[in-house]
């Protein structure tokens, strides 16, 4: 069951006692809750397969698989970025230093501060960072193509 979806209480009418109706809805809600909280897919479910589809379990499983794929993509991109930063460090240590100070410092560093530290203008810092971004992008594409081969 996706986020924001609500559980619908099923009414059986006069043919089923209120206690059974309440217990049935409690069990269904518990199954939905377990699926919402079960990222590895090992929750114990009641009923047969036809009942599972009635309660959007397929949607839940699809969402979980999609989240796993997205997480895998994020991990891959982080690894590609790490490799690209290492290559930038080897080939362009000045730009690597600017990127490191600007993005990875313990405190927020401004372009003006980086410019004063390196005796250049804020615009020159910006231009250097933009060159570094383009190089990082090129490295990431290169490493990604290597993985696909």
Domain extent at residue 136: 73-148
Residue pLDDT, tens place only, 4-47: 456 677 787 888 888 888 888 888 888 777 777 766 665 555 55
Both 92 and 140 in one domain: the answer is yes
Domain count, the chain: 2
Both 101 and 130 in one domain: the answer is yes
User: Does residue 107 lie within any of the structural domains?
Assistant: yes
3-state secondary structure of 110: coil
CA-CA-CA-CA torsion sign (101, 107, 111, 116): negative
Both 144 and 78 in one domain: the answer is yes
* Confidence tier at 1 by pLDDT (50, 70, 90): very low
DSSP letter for each residue of 22-36: HHHHHHHHHHHHHHH
Of residues 35, 27, 45, 26, the one with CA closest to residue 5: 35
Both 26 and 77 in one domain: the answer is no
């Amino acid at each position: 069951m996706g986020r924001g979806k609500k559980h619908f209480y099923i009414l059986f009418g006069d043919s089923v006692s209120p206690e059974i109706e309440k217990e049935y809805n409690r069990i269904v809600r518990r199954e939905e809750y377990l699926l919402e909280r079960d990222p590895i897919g090992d929750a114990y479910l009641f009923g047969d397969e036809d009942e599972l589809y009635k309660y959007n379990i397929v949607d839940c499983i699809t969402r979980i698989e999609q989240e796993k794929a997205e997480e895998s993509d994020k991990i891959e991109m982080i690894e590609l970025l790490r490799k690209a930063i290492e290559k930038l460090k080897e080939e362009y240590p000045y730009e690597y230093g600017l990127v490191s100070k600007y993005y990875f410092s313990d405190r927020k560093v401004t372009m003006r501060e980086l410019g004063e530290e390196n005796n250049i203008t804020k615009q020159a810092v910006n231009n250097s960072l933009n060159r570094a971004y383009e190089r990082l992008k090129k490295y990431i594409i290169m490493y990604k193509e290597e993985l696909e081969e």
